[in-house]
Structure formats: structure tokens, C-alpha cells
Amino acid sequence: MPYIISPIIRESFKGMWGEGHPYQRSTIYQKDESSSESPPVNYSSYTLKPHSLPHIETSAHTSNGAPTIEHYFSQERISHFYGRTVVLRLEGDHFKTLETNSSIKIWRITKDQILSALQRVTKRKSIPKRLIITLKSIPLNNEKLHDPNYVLILEQEAATYLVENGIELYGTSWKSSDYNPGGSERPIHNTLFQSALIMECLDLNNVPEGVYFLSAFPIPLEGASESPVCPVLYTYDEIGED
């Protein structure tokens, strides 16, 4: 059975960036058996604010004039969205309380933590083209998703190492890849964007660490710096079935 690493998107979800509810639905047509004047269908419009939902983002998220989502649907770049992918669940508790805000805990993932987890999962330390990182025990919010108060981001050295080794897609269960409240710099995003796309807000609660085949095609929105995605992880036994 494949792992769908997006939750069911509900109108009750609250935005994580002060943008209001990230999913809203409004009726355009409602089927009315007693009327012959309106179309005999139910048809709604949907408003999505992707940064509080599972999404893929490009370097246009942090740089003006950079490639947007449709750029990666070309033949030579489309492999960012699919292929062999390693999921790591980091062990232990490396959260540190933020001095300026005791409700925020932050874990900066080190290069050594990544390499140790890769050795455990794949029996080697080579960096895969697609890497998804979460925790063995994820602190959860009311929606049973990664609690945004428990920040999980890469150290700069780790992000640089991933790029130097050709990563094409980096995924996380947390809501972002940087933590710099009030600041304009996004150093981890910008480092990863040198070779990779970023996938955030993933629901990895029930996914064992391991090696999978990923299919993670976002909606191909022209001019979009990010787009909603419903990623699916398959075991290699599943895709090998007739």
C-alpha cells in the first residue's frame, strides 16, 4: 500500500503564516432538481494558499526572476518530481529552547546526523537525489501534523553538503526550510535552490524510514513560485508488481 504524504485538506485548517485558512471552498453551481435554469451539476471554486499545505517551491520563492513551477515540467528537469527517494526519521531529542521565545524549540539538523541516518537506512552515506527528513517522534498540532513550534531545519553546513552532492529535491515535515522571524534572509532555501526544489508541510507520521519511489507532481501553474502537491511514496515491491 503506498504512503500518501499529504493529509486530507480541510477547510478548518489554520494558516501558519497569518494568511487565514489555507483552503476555502465556495459554491458556483448547486444541483437543483426542481430547476431547469441552472446547470444540473455541483460545481465549486477553491482557494488554496499553498505555504500552509503540502507544496513544492522553486527558487522564485526567494529570488525575483528565478524559474517558476512550469520550468520544471521540461523533459530535462522533470526528474525532480519523481524517482528513488530516501526517507530519514532522525532519532533522539536535539531540540533547544529559543532564548527569545520559550514556546519555540529548534533542531538544526547537522551533516553528521544526516550521514549517520543514511548509513542506518541505506548502508551507505552517499546523498540521494531526493531526500525527505522528519523525526522518529514528531511533535503534533491539533491537526495531527508537525507542530510548527518545533522547528526542524538544516544547519548551513548540512544544506551546503547536500547541494555539493547533487540533491534535486529536499522534503520536510516542518512548515519551512529556514527559521528567521522578522528577517529578510533565507539562507537555507537559497542554498538548496542551487540544485534542488523544496517540498514542505509533509504528513510523514506513519511513514517508516527507508528507500521509496516517489511521485510528487505539483499542479503546473504558470508563473507560480510554489504549487500544491499530493506526494505518494511507493515501496519498490509495489512498483515491481504486474
Predicted confidence (pLDDT) at residue 156 exceeds the cutoff of 60: yes
What is residue 1's predicted lDDT score, i.e. its pLDDT? 85
C-alpha cell at 231: 506526494
Cα-to-chain-centroid distance, residue 199: 3
Give the right CATH number for 53-239 from 3.40.50.720, 3.50.30.50, 2.30.30.100, 3.30.530.20: 3.50.30.50
Distance CA 218, CA 232 (A): 12
* pLDDT single digits (tens) 3-54: 999 999 999 999 999 999 999 999 999 988 777 777 889 999 999 999 999 9
80 or 237, which is more confident: 80
Distance CA 155, CA 170 (A): 14
Q: In the 8-state DSSP scheme, what is residue 52? A: G
In the structure, what pLDDT confidence band is assigned to residue 242 with cuts at 50, 70 and 90? very low
What is residue 241's predicted lDDT score, i.e. its pLDDT? 52
Query: What mean pLDDT is reported for the chain?
Result: 95
Distance CA 118, CA 129 (A): 13
In the structure, what pLDDT confidence band is assigned to residue 100 with cuts at 50, 70 and 90? confident
Q: What angle do CA 83, 170, 70 make, to 5 degrees?
A: 70
The answer to whether the CB of 220 falls within 8 A of the CB of 45 is no
**φ, ψ dihedrals at 105, nearest 5°:** -115, 140
pTM: 0.95
81 or 37, which is more confident: 81
What is residue 36's predicted lDDT score, i.e. its pLDDT? 74
* pLDDT single digits (tens) 40-57: 899 999 999 999 999 999
> DSSP alpha helices (H): ranges in the chain?
111-122, 156-164, 187-192, 236-239
What is residue 34's predicted lDDT score, i.e. its pLDDT? 78
Return the closest-CA partner of residue 54 out of 195, 203, 165: 203
User: Cell 537525489, residue?
Assistant: 129
Return the domain boundaries, the chain: 53-239
Return the closest-CA partner of residue 85 out of 225, 204, 189, 241: 204
Q: Return the percentage of the chain with pLDDT > 70, whole number.
A: 99
User: Cell 504549487, residue?
Assistant: 227
Q: Average the pLDDT over 126-140 and give the result.
A: 97
3-state helix, strand, coil in the chain (%, to 5): 20, 30, 50
Q: Average the pLDDT over 85-98 and give the result.
A: 96
What is residue 65's predicted lDDT score, i.e. its pLDDT? 96
C-alpha cell at 114: 544526516
Q: Average the pLDDT over 93-113 and give the result.
A: 95
